[in-house]
Structure 1
Amino acid sequence: RTSSLEQVDKLQQLYAEHRQNEQKVRPTLDRLSTLEDFATPLLTAAIKDRFGLDVDVARTWLFHASRAKVDQSFLAASRDPITQANIALRAACQSLLKAALQNFEKWETAPGAMDSDSGIEAQVFSAFEIIGQQIAGQSLPISATGFAAMCRELDLGGKYQTHLESVFNAPSTPEETADAAASRLRKDFLKLQSSSIRLQLQIASLQELVSPPLQGALLDILDGKQNVRLDNRPVN
């Protein structure tokens, strides 16, 4: 089907509006760090301060030995035990960054708390390999439980929440309050979301992926209209 000039003009209009809404929130997004980008330098510095080591937290590994548990259920009885042990060992290994972002329970800070019931010690590895039912690697002088305690003190999640609040509550003028700034940004992001949906609907309409009645009903919902119906049935 050939698109009408009116449809193409509408598409260009919606695209322009969407780009305008993007530009409104761009300064906020530019100030926003991902959780990993935010946490990496803080965790790296904390390890240096506590343990005196410079490590790549995304490529240094915590082996939480107590989590290396093989399924002993009846359903697992017929599986290869070596394969099951291999899977369990891999599941017990995480990068220091990932482990820190998930944080730890208080019990995990007690000496030996991360060791397995069979006596395998939790360790921090700069590199490791798993062969069959065994794990081996270059162990670092970082106590696993000491690392857990440090992470609880560091509270990366709490610090990131503060970062988010500072970004999304940042006043645009000296007179604007933090609450007003948050409200303004909420409205700007809702406008961006709405303009994105409208643009995608128009593209889908041009490609004949949605029918005119469905497009109209969805646009009515975006406009906040009540009791929207499609094919004489309510649309929720």
Structure 2
Amino acid sequence: MIIQTQQQASVLTHEATLKKLLNVMGNRDKATVVARFISDGLLKADPVRLDGFRALFDEALPYQYYIDQLLGKLETLEDLCKRKLRQALQQQYGGRFSINDSIKLKPATAVDDGSHTYTLLQAAMLNFTQQEAAAGYFSDDSETLTKVDEEAPDGSTPTQITAQAFALLSRQLDLGGEYKKHISRTFRVSSLELISLRMHKTNMKLAAFGKYFSKPNFPLSRLVTLLNLAKGNEDIVYGDLFNNSRIKLYSIQLFGKYMTDAVLITCRQTDQSTKDSYYVYIPNDAGDSFYQDDSEDQCRYRLAVNFVASKELQELFISQLTHREQSDFRTLNLESLSFLEDIAFIPLETGLYKHLFDRHLDKLTADAGELAVAVANVNEAAYANRRENQASLISAAHLNSPNEDFNRRLRIYATDELLALVFASLDRWTAIEKHDALSRLVDLKKRLTTTDSAKPGAPINSEMADDYFGQFEVQKHLREQPGTLLHKLEPVAL
């Protein structure tokens, strides 16, 4: 006689799950979508670990909500630059000039016939070197351009802002430097670092749970080790004692210069282990996220194979780079990645979770710095051709991109992968909405499991399913993610 384990007994077949959900939801299409989550997303979810998972994402919500609220209040690069430039123009020139007025910035030595014309906002954000702000650098006719309907009260041509005067004003404003300070004042404070630490810690544990539940080959021993590793409220630091040995932490660098969010964690699997285990942790990875091997070289080899074979992994790593690095990275032959020469492990100098949060902040700072160049950086060789290369990027359509990218990355939670089996457009959901949806799905899984162990034909309580899923409709999913998902109905459609 084969005795099923508790875990095996709790796993419903897809057909049985679908039948029970259909009784609850009364809609086959919706039941089919949710059944995929129950059967695949929570494939190995036994009641005990499901309770642990539920408690963990309850614990994570306050941190996620706090970050959600903070991001909603963060002044964007575009808004800060517009506000400060408007104030400066008003103070010095009254209401005569708008941030959208044009200015000619033609070097006196230029021989081309280009227009060399920028809006005042573009020019101020791209900033000026000390040499460019000196008298005589720009041509005599480099100044703000007269508007078609503009004339002085006496009928003469109004006085314009010269290129030198605007260069001096822009250096004084230092819009790029001001935005860096804004980022630091908002995020690089001890109270927020503590919240971000705990958010990343719970996110790592949620990722371990999610991968264990959904990946057939993700062993329980790996889950237990990762949960034990992330216990407590403190950060994990290189050299910390764990299972009678010292933890080692490394950031992962590709092609000798491109830092990724991936981290190598070296530790003992249990307190009885006599050798280290090596875990490559890739946040938001569609695969296992935690890849366990017996040596650094094995980690490099597995990572190289996965990277070359997976366009999705390549795009994930690319998304973690600064905008400038992304352009350079895409010119490389990614299929040529060598596990011996092109993957480096760099010891972490900060705690693991501080490192992960700093990666977000550093990327925002760098990407914003490409659009609004700080006085401290404007002399660097990388910005020598900034007007020729970047002026076309500075428009209303692009100014928010560093902030939008930052917001999107910080609002991606480890549980999103499970939710994405059921719901579409998660990027527009708040932390509370995601928590509510996952809570209902997990509760539904537990109710189905309970009725599965009861006598055949026992009814299940449909109290929450009818009301909650009534606000969604089934639609075909995006081309790159085939299948159907539940889309939240717009308020007018409810």
Number of equivalences: 186
Secondary structure of 1:49's counterpart equals helix
In the aligned structure 2, how far is the partner of 1:197 from the partner of 1:124? 55
* Equivalent pair of 2:86/2:98 in contact (CA under 8 Å): yes
Aligned residue type for 1:187: L
Is 2:74 the partner of 1:64?
A: no
Shift of 1:193: 7.9
In the aligned structure 2, how far is the partner of 1:96 from the partner of 1:146? 12
Q: Determine the structure 2 residue equivalent to 1:41.
A: 83
* Equivalent pair of 1:123/1:139 in contact (CA under 8 Å): no
Q: Determine the structure 1 residue equivalent to 2:170.
A: 151
In the aligned structure 2, how far is the partner of 1:109 from the partner of 1:55? 20
TM-score (normalizing by structure 2): 0.30
Secondary structure of 2:86's counterpart equals helix
In the aligned structure 2, how far is the partner of 1:96 from the partner of 1:234? 51
Structure having the higher helix fraction is 1
* Equivalent pair of 1:25/1:188 in contact (CA under 8 Å): no
Listed as ranges, the gaps of 5+ residues in structure 2 are 1-13, 15-31, 44-52, 149-156, 219-284, 305-494
TM-score (normalizing by structure 1): 0.57
In the aligned structure 1, how far is the partner of 2:119 from the partner of 2:206? 36
In the aligned structure 1, how far is the partner of 2:180 from the partner of 2:106? 30
In the aligned structure 1, how far is the partner of 2:165 from the partner of 2:193? 42
Equivalent runs, 1:79-228 vs 2, <5 Å: 85=113, 88-89=114-115, 92-115=116-139, 121-125=141-145, 141-169=160-188, 178=189, 180-187=190-197, 190=200, 218-221=288-291
Shift of 1:212: 7.3
Aligned residue type for 2:134: A
What percent of counterpart residues are identical?
A: 20
In the aligned structure 2, how far is the partner of 1:147 from the partner of 1:29? 33
Flag the structure with more relative contact order, 1 or 2, with Cα contacts below 8 A and sequence separation at least 6. Answer: 1
In the aligned structure 2, how far is the partner of 1:196 from the partner of 1:55? 53
Q: Kindly tell me: are residues 40 and 5 of structure 1, through their superposed partners in 2, closer, same or farther at Cα, counting changes over 3 Å?
A: same
Aligned residue type for 1:44: R
In the TM superposition, what whole-angstrom CA distance separates every residue of 1:108-141 from its partner, at most 9, and x where no partner exists?
A: 22233211xxxx621212658xxxxxxxxx9862
In the aligned structure 1, how far is the partner of 2:66 from the partner of 2:296? 30
* Equivalent pair of 1:124/1:142 in contact (CA under 8 Å): yes
Q: Determine the structure 1 residue equivalent to 2:39.
A: 6
